[in-house]
Amino acid sequence: MLVVDAANVVGSRPDGWWKDRAGAAEKLCTGIATALASGQPATPIVVVLEGAARRGAADFEHNGLRITHAPHEGDERI
């Protein structure tokens, strides 16, 4: 299983993510879902969203991808 702290992944690139945290989270989750659908990687992935990023994707579980919302900081959920 791979656990993704979305805030750390999204925040690692200075591409303007802070202007649209929900959009950045949606883009990350969509990319991971696409990768899983193609068979790469072949492991379950859990994406943890926090704060404003939670608006980018609902709690979800399907085809090896689980999206979960942290009540406050992502580390609390992880």
0.85 exceeded by pTM = yes
What are the tokens at 63?
Answer: 């085809």
Q: Strands 65-69 and 45-49, how do they pair? A: parallel
Using one digit for the tens of pLDDT, what is the confidence trace for 22-74?
999 999 999 999 999 898 887 899 999 999 999 999 999 998 999 999 999 99
Q: So where are the chain's domains?
A: 2-77
